[in-house]
Amino acid sequence: MKGIINEGIQKFVETKFGQEAWDKIKEQAKCKHLFFSAVDDYPDQETVDLANAASKVLDLPLETVLVEFGKFWITNTAANSYPTYFKLAGKTAREFLLNMDAIHRYATNAIPNAKPPRFEYEETPGGRLLMHYHSERRLCPVLRGLIMGVGILFNEKLQLKEVNCMNNGAQHCTMEVSFQ
């Protein structure tokens, strides 16, 4: 996993819950890093351990931690780390979501061994957007948070429904997004 994700988890916890909570999470996860380099690779298991430790220390369900992290990451960490991509991604939540695959592709193009998620899209007759998410990491709750965060970023109200999920046996996740 890229260090920007772990760095984002740290910023999320410190911002929302304080330094003491982060210190406890690091201890629970047996994380020895003084800091995370945004561009370095870290074992996926370290990220999983941090998320699980956050769930325990914060006394929140893991899914809640991941969704809230996704919202925070898109509106804070990613927005500050990738301002150029954000400017090019679109002027509305729909445009931005339709460009998420391209954003991931461009942001990781020069990074060896990057395994970004892939997205495919379908527009429905009712104006909804179906986002098909493919990732070996299966971070579906983070994606739900990211989508909600995009709504926050553009000050748009989005309705989100998970149509199917890899974590429930589907080959990929499908998120249905309604724009209001």
Q: Which two tokens stand for residue 55?
A: 């769930």
Residue spans per domain, the chain? 3-60, 92-179
pLDDT in the model for residue 22: 96
What's the rounded Cα separation, in Å, for the pair 21 and 56? 11
pLDDT digits (tens, 9 = 90+) for 13-46: 999 999 999 999 999 999 988 888 887 788 889 9
Q: Which residue has tokens 């000050």? A: 155
pLDDT over threshold 90, residue 12: yes
Q: What pLDDT is stored for residue 86 in this prediction?
A: 79
Tokens of 153: 């970023």
For residue 76, give the DSSP letter.
I
What pLDDT digit, counting tens, does each position of 59-106 carry? Answer: 999 999 999 999 999 999 888 887 887 788 889 999 999 999 988 887
Q: What's the pTM value of the predicted model, to 2 decimals?
A: 0.90
Look at residue 70 in the predicted model and tell me its pLDDT. 95
Contact predicate 84/75, CB 8 Å: no
Q: Which residue has the tokens 């249905």?
A: 176
Backbone angles phi, psi at 154, to 5 degrees: -100, 5
Q: What is the pLDDT of residue 62?
A: 96
Beta-carbon contacts of residue 48 (< 8 Å; ≥ 6 apart): none
Q: Rounded mean pLDDT of the chain?
A: 91
pLDDT digits (tens, 9 = 90+) for 105-128: 877 776 777 788 999 999 998 899
Check if the beta carbon of residue 149 is closer than 8 Å to that of residue 73: yes
CA distance 121 to 87: 21
pLDDT of 130 strictly over 80: yes
176: left (phi over 0), alpha (psi -120 to 50) or beta: beta
| Nearest-5° Cα angle at 94, 88 to 97 | 65
Q: What average pLDDT does this structure show over 150-171? A: 94
Average pLDDT over residues 5-10: 92
Q: Which CATH architecture has domain 92-179?
A: Alpha-Beta Complex (3.90)
| DSSP string of 98-145, one letter each residue | HTHHHHHHHHHTTSTT----EEEEEE-TTS-EEEEEE-TT--HHHHHH
